[in-house]
């Protein structure tokens, strides 16, 4: 039922169309400003029932002025909430976890989410303050705004997350002239993120064998982007934008500077290397005296952190290496929804 409903609304793509639909719908309801026409109980019900989560990855964590500018942009709309921020200085990378609701027109088609304009405002601030040519870090990246992924929460659907991903992608591609590659549910054939990254050389370090610096790829892309130009701005790079069910990120510190050994372990843990199904890994330098295995758990309810930790410890012992307890870089979907409701409760009570 949900899939059929959203398929019939697939023509709603551009931000102008989204805004027009939202305005027309709200004008029918009231002459008041957007959503002031809704009483508090209705606003609270909307925010509880249809939530989307956006994880926005930006290639910077050392420039405080840039991060301050991005975070000021995030606060322009109080109906979007930053529920978590994870930054890593060695990786020179930050991830913001944002949550807001999704609204529909009278026929049930998605027409608006505060996440759209918040993400675009944050992207604009990032492009204005960060130059990829001057960036370096121990984590791979292909753009200033490197990755944007939307997850459904509560009663929202994956189709709704994909709709918003495609809407944001069109705006970033056109407004900022940045090539955008869609992935997972936002892509017409469900193309995987790691497949696109391999095609674009994401996993190949270009500095000292373990760091990424500047834009190291050709300015004319080998693959046609889904949105935006074929030519890359070296200052901005490209962006990946997708929609997918919840993915957990879990990092395991290895107490060694031997990044080759860490990469061997990471490969043997990953599904690609014949290890754990639905697990993707990267072996990375992390600071001056350690390395780390960064893991994406694509189906965390099937293969969770405990199995990953056990497998890493077993393989590291064979290499004579010590392993610390791993850590999640974000909250669970349930905790994220709960934190969102607490943070917006003062606005609706």
Contacts of 214 (CB under 8 A, 6+ apart): 132, 133, 134, 135, 136, 206, 234
| SS3 (DSSP) at 184 | strand
| Of residues 69, 246, 233, the one with CA closest to residue 151 | 246
Instruction: Name the pairing type of β-strands 145-154 and 239-243.
Output: parallel
- The span from the CA of 81 to the CA of 100, in Å, is 7
Region for 209 from its dihedrals, namely left if φ exceeds 0, alpha if ψ lies in -120 to 50, beta otherwise: left
What are the backbone dihedrals phi and psi of residue 46, each rounded to the nearest 5 degrees, phi first? -60, -45
How far is residue 17 CA from its own chain's centroid? Answer: 24
- The span from the CA of 79 to the CA of 336, in Å, is 15
Distance from first CA to last CA of the chain, Å, rounded?
Answer: 33
Report the catalytic residues: 139
């Amino acid at each position: 039922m949900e899939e059929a409903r959203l398929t019939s609304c697939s023509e709603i793509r551009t931000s102008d169309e989204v805004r027009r639909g939202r305005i027309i719908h709200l004008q029918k309801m009231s002459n008041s400003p957007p959503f002031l026409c809704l009483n508090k109980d209705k606003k609270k019900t909307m925010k509880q029932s249809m939530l989307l989560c956006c994880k926005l990855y930006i290639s910077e964590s050392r420039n405080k002025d840039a991060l301050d500018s991005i975070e000021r942009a995030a606060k322009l709309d109080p109906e979007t909430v930053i529920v978590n921020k994870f930054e890593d200085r060695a990786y020179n990378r930050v991830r913001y976890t944002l949550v807001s609701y999704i609204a529909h027109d009278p026929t049930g088609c998605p027409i608006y989410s505060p996440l759209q304009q918040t993400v675009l405002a944050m992207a604009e601030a990032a492009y204005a303050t960060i130059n990829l040519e001057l960036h370096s870090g121990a984590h791979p990246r292909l753009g200033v705004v490197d990755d944007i992924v939307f997850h459904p929460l509560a009663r929202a659907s994956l189709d709704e997350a994909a709709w918003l991903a495609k809407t944001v992608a069109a705006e970033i591609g056109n407004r900022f002239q940045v090539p955008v590659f869609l992935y997972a549910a936002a892509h017409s054939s469900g193309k995987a993120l790691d497949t696109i990254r391999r095609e674009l050389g994401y996993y190949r370090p270009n500095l000292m064998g373990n760091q990424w610096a500047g834009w190291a790829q050709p300015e004319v892309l080998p693959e046609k982007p889904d949105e935006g130009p074929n030519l890359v701005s070296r200052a901005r790079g490209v962006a990946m934008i997708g929609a997918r069910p919840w993915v957990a990120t879990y990092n395991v510190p290895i107490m060694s500077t031997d990044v080759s050994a860490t990469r061997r372990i990471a490969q043997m843990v990953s599904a690609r290397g014949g290890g754990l199904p639905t697990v993707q890994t990267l072996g990375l330098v992390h600071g001056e005296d350690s390395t780390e295995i960064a893991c994406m758990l694509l189906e965390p309810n099937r293969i969770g952190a405990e199995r990953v930790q056990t497998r890493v410890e077993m393989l590291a012992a064979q290499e004579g290496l010590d392993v610390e307890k791993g850590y999640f870089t974000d909250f669970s979907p349930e905790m994220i929804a709960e934190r969102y409701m607490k943070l917006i409760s003062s606005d609706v009570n």
